[in-house]
A and B are shown apart, each in its own frame.
Chain A
């Protein structure tokens, strides 16, 4: 008779690790199962080219929840991060570069070289947007309110939300309500005139969305990306050793609390007995039983790959099938023999995210191709050179460069992604980079291109969507991951979900793992009290 765990956690992504850490802290018997050899999910640092270590998928840990860092004592477990500076830069052929800094005053001064009017506006814009982001940060710290679902708890959390929203003040509250459904292009046009500035912030707003900056609701995209930030844009906390180090610290912290890990172990099925999840079956046929299962996978993978359809309620299946994933971004990792020389940028600038998108119209045109299932002819790129801040990532004098390319739709008009598509995409990224940094082509010593299909295959992300479902107004809060199931439970008793698929969604690191763990712990406690 094998051991029965309290909780088996599926997947070794960050949220799974956070949840496991909380279970460990509560003294439960916990097993984390990950098909990858190294935990971390989309936050892994891999030596894809000998001597060069890349943040293979996500190159930013987003907003790491301070509660999680404190609760799981991550600082004691070797997690070190510092805010990158500048936050974001954009080269400007024939003019001064765009430099966005954590210090709004410095940004304003710098912006005045591009547009005096925009420089004047910056502080007020920062105040307004960060005020809205603080409200979202508070909302994201708690389980989502569920209007229409009628429970007393829901009423209280709705009233709490209303009270919190009123703290914004009368004018700002109305502005908040007015802002989030807008196209980000309209929001930016209301404030600014400089194309380079608007193009850069536009890219932030449409990250991993199959929408262009003129699509309604993308202003919310910008607010979501601002959660936890006191400056615009949020910037990228620089984790020494790469983003994978966050997973490493979480794993160490969890192991110290007795959490067991089985990596390189694929799960074949979630075991169901009498309508409740009772464990998992591995690819090897081995069965592991548990009182509860926590899945860090997305809905598609959790329910349509791992649960026998006979156990699923058809209405839930119908709703789950409607989730929009449609990944639209590709990742390009380059090993460089020398530092890329971006025209008009200085050495300090390379610490920030480098945006290549001259204007909102360029971004919108890049999006237009997506609608018809084509890769953008002139894509927008978000580029980082993490080895500038952390030389340990590359051999001496050499560098690693990572770029997200928008837009490369998962669904291509002419069939599925193949090797030649991938290679063409890499060439396109390289050409785009070369226009901005002419020395790049001659310094590439290795490259890795991850199409949305590759992101699906390698990281188990449906349709290559790194947020496990688009973060759009119809798929957030009480609608995420599936309307009616936003509190981490699922229609299968004993099966829970965490991860970007759940509230509060992608880029808000640690929160869903923490909230999901709390829900499961409450439910287990009730169970114990009943028995």
Chain B
């Protein structure tokens, strides 16, 4: 009989690995169990076609908490983030809008489109910086329960109240507006340039089933502003080796802390004895015992799949039933014989090392959403493309390229359901739309992989293919994520915890959920943080 583990982490996604690493560093004996043959969850790099490597699902990084990079020393475990310098938005009229990371160049470009927006751009940047600073402490906070009267919760609520009060009325009002407005309206107050507004508001719809004119999307926009590479706000980056390299770096840090990681080990059930989690049973029948179990899976899997529902109180079951996933995005990964040649900016150039966004106007995004609302994929979707092989030549054979296309909207609940034919039709819609801007694209395609929300669900195990483990909506955030009373990483089963993106603060390759969960787990263990 082997000694039981201190903790078993179910799911080797980035949050599971982060929790494992922190527990390992606190001296605990930790085992991570991953269903697939590789760790990373939705942050994996795979050689889908010989010689061509893809960040199959997630593709850029910006939200990873700098505390985690530093505390886990991810750089020494191989994490290297290469900045994406620009975002090119090609326009139907043959012109383009180029959003440079470099402030002066961004201003110059705005000057060319709408001179008054160039002035506004400065102020807007400062404002969003302040807003990100205002929200940042909340990201690092265990959500208090506003309905509780316990001293801990009251103290935490007072702290939160003081934080908001200290912002002063101006910033508090702006924060309130960001939390409650649509990204289209919020940006519309600042800018006139349509492609600028559309390209920025596109980050307000990612992972939601809302259009840019729906309230609530301004917050998602801010969420994406929280990114923080080398201290620079809203700097998107690309991990050398793809997003899988991020997972590998965290896994490396975990292993260095003594964590054991087992792949191809799918968990069937959490074993519960006398109301306490005591280990897990694998699909192959193996039982592994541990002092505690932590699930990095999404709430549906964490509670409804791994536990008997009889263990769960009605309010939680009700909350889980109403928790919304509705994956709305898909992915197209292309192996290319040559770089796409954009009509608006012909030939190779610096723009190839940045993002290319198909988001010419707010109306364009709304129309893409309209299709999805009624159960169809967007005929002309929003796309966020990058060419990782330009930044990191190791991703493709010499002279060849890989292209990653994030696509929205592709509803999980497609009319008639997803079939192979529908998947290909969706892929065709993506390629046809993109080829309008880069006519050589079709002939350059050597291979293509089309991933629907249904595929995200079946491959990466994300319910309904939602990349954030549940929509990032105001009614599913903070002390309501994933459900009232159960937002503090604990569950109704003693010694069973949750640490995935379905907990505060949620989605993106952020790792904050995993880190906060580890903090709570260690607190229960009596280990000071």
Contacts and interface: CB of A to CB of B under 8 A. Distances in A.
Interface in B183-232: 185, 189, 210-211, 213-217
Contacts of B366: 371-372
B215 A215 contact: yes
A14 to B, nearest CB: 28
A174 B485 CA distance: 9
B213 A215 contact: yes
A181 B485 contact: no
B180 A472 contact: yes
Interface in A172-187: 173-175, 177-179, 181-183, 186
B165 A479 contact: no
Interface string A459-499: 00000000000001110001100011000000000000000
B475 A166 contact: no
Grouping DSSP codes into helix (H, G, I), strand (E, B) and loop, the B interface class, with mixed when no group exceeds half, is helix
B215 A217 contact: yes
B66 to A, nearest CB: 28
B322 A472 contact: no
B169 A484 contact: yes
A146 B217 CA distance: 24
A457 to B, nearest CB: 25
B147 A472 contact: no
B5 to A, nearest CB: 35
Given A177-B146, A324-B185, A215 B210 contact: yes
Contacts, number: 103
B363 interface: yes
Given A215-B214, A472-B215, A473-B215, A166 B147 contact: yes
Contact of B164 (A147, A166, A214): A147
B485 A148 contact: no
A146, A174, A365, A472 pick with most chain B CB within 10 angstroms:
A174
Interface string A351-367: 00000000001001100
B176 interface: yes
A95 interface: no
Contacts of A148: 164-165, 167-169, 172-173
Nearest to B485: A174
A214 B484 CA distance: 23
B23 interface: no
B316 to A, nearest CB: 11
Interface in B353-409: 363, 366, 370, 373-374
A175 B318 CA distance: 11
A320 interface: no
Contacts of B148: 170
A177 B473 CA distance: 12
A375 interface: no
A150 B177 contact: no
A368 B214 CA distance: 12
A181 B366 CA distance: 20
Interface in B86-138: none
B315 interface: yes
B72 interface: no
Contacts of B479: 174, 177
Q: Most A CB atoms within 10 A — which of B210, B315, B373?
A: B373
Contacts of A484: 169-170, 173
Contact of B480 (A174, A324, A365, A474): A174
A215 B528 CA distance: 44
B405 to A, nearest CB: 26
Given A181-B180, A372-B363, A473-B180, A361 B374 contact: yes
* Chain A: number of interface residues, binned into ranges: 35 or more
Given A148-B165, A174-B480, A372-B363, A217 B172 contact: no
Given A177-B146, A215-B214, A371-B213, A483 B165 contact: no
B90 to A, nearest CB: 22
Contacts of B189: 322
A18 interface: no
Contact of B215 (A166, A365, A474): A474
A368 B213 CA distance: 11
B216 A181 contact: yes
Contacts of A166: 147
Nearest to A368: B370
A42 to B, nearest CB: 25
Given A474-B177, A483-B169, A214 B322 contact: no
Contact of B473 (A147, A179, A181): A181
A317 to B, nearest CB: 13
A400 B315 CA distance: 49
A483 B181 CA distance: 14
B324 interface: yes
A455 interface: no
The 6 closest A-B pairs by CB, nearest first: A148-B172, A181-B474, A216-B216, A174-B484, A473-B180, A483-B173
Interface of B: 146-148, 161, 164-165, 167-170, 172-173, 176-177, 180-182, 185, 189, 210-211, 213-217, 315, 322, 324, 363, 366, 370, 373-374, 473-475, 479-480, 484-485
Given A171-B484, A174-B484, 5 more contacts: A147-B161, A174-B480, A175-B484, A217-B215, A371-B211
